[in-house]
Amino acid sequence: MEMTAPSHTPGGRIRLRFAAPEQLDSAAALFGSAHPDREGLALAIPSDGSLPVLRAVIAALDEAGIAPETITAHSGELDDVFAALGGPSWSGDQDSHWEY
């Protein structure tokens, strides 16, 4: 199931955290565009943050019998927009600067 965002703000994602590596692997197999984090037992699925996409993710997990520990939705931030457009990025701490 492909859960990519339409042409909205880049960087939006749904983050799923699992109790076991097997759950992570099973969930990753459901979503072709997902980015697994094996160390953190988490899966990031690109999303536009809309309720229909969140519902579709939950429905796919439920149908497959996969229950994540947590589900969080993250909207894209301005830094994600700049990165998607190929511009400089801000590293975020007090002494940081724009990186090219």
E strands present in the chain: 13-17, 35-37, 42-46, 70-74, 89-90, 98-99
At residue 76, does pLDDT exceed 80?
Answer: no
Please, are residues 20 and 41 in contact by the beta-carbon 8 Å criterion? yes
Domains of the chain: 13-87 (3.30.70)
CA 98, chain centre distance (Å): 24
Euclidean distance between CA atoms 100 and 97, whole angstroms: 10
pLDDT value of position 49:
77
Mean pLDDT, the chain, rounded, equals: 78
Euclidean distance between CA atoms 87 and 82, whole angstroms: 5
| Residue 76 or residue 15, greater confidence | 15
pTM of the model: 0.67
| Residue 33 or residue 29, greater confidence | 29
Give the distance between the most distant pair of CA atoms in the chain: 47
pLDDT value of position 32:
87
- Model confidence pLDDT, tens digit, residues 52-73: 999 999 999 999 999 999 999 8
